[in-house]
Amino acid sequence: MIVVTDGKSNIGPPPVRVARQLLALSWEDSDGSDVAWDAEKYGPQVEIYAFSIADANKVELESIASRLPAHVFRLSTFSLFAEFARSLHGGLTVLSPPLCLSVPVL
C-alpha cells in the first residue's frame, strides 16, 4: 500500500491506528482457514510505504509506514511523486537519487 500524506493529520482517527490494523490483516483460504504464510521467508503480507510531499511530521510519517527499511520517503513536489508513479508503470520499482530524499533518522 502506498500512502501519500502531508504527515499532519487533523481529522478522523489517528493514522497510526488504521495503519496497524492494515498491517495485521492476513489472507484466508477459500474455506475460511488461515493461509500458512512464512513471514520470515516471504516478509509481511501487507507493507505500507509512506510518501510525504514537502515538509511533513516525520514521527507521524514513520508511524504510518511499515517498520522496514526504505518505507518512508520525502519528495519535494507533487510533480516528483507523479514521475515516480509513472515509473512504476514502466516496470521500475526502485527510487533513486535525486528523485527521492529519504527521511533522515535522528
15 in any annotated domain: yes
Residue 39 placed within a domain: no
pTM: 0.68
Enumerate the β-bridge partners of residue 16: none
Mean pLDDT of the region 16-26: 85
Question: pLDDT grade, residue 102 (50/70/90)?
Answer: very low
Residue 37 lies in a domain: no
Domain that holds residue 88: 2-31+45-102
Residue 90, pLDDT score: 65
Residue 38 has what DSSP assignment? -
CATH code for position 59:
3.40.50.410
Assess if residue 6 is contained within a domain. yes
CB atoms within 10 A of CB 99: 15
For residue 100, what pLDDT band results from cuts at 50, 70 and 90?
A: very low
Q: Are 1 and 46 in contact (CB under 8 A)?
A: yes
Domain membership flag for residue 19: yes
Higher-confidence residue of 68 and 6: namely 68
Q: Which residue bears the cell 504464510?
A: 37
Per the domain annotation, does 75 fall within a domain? yes
Please state the domain count of the chain: 1
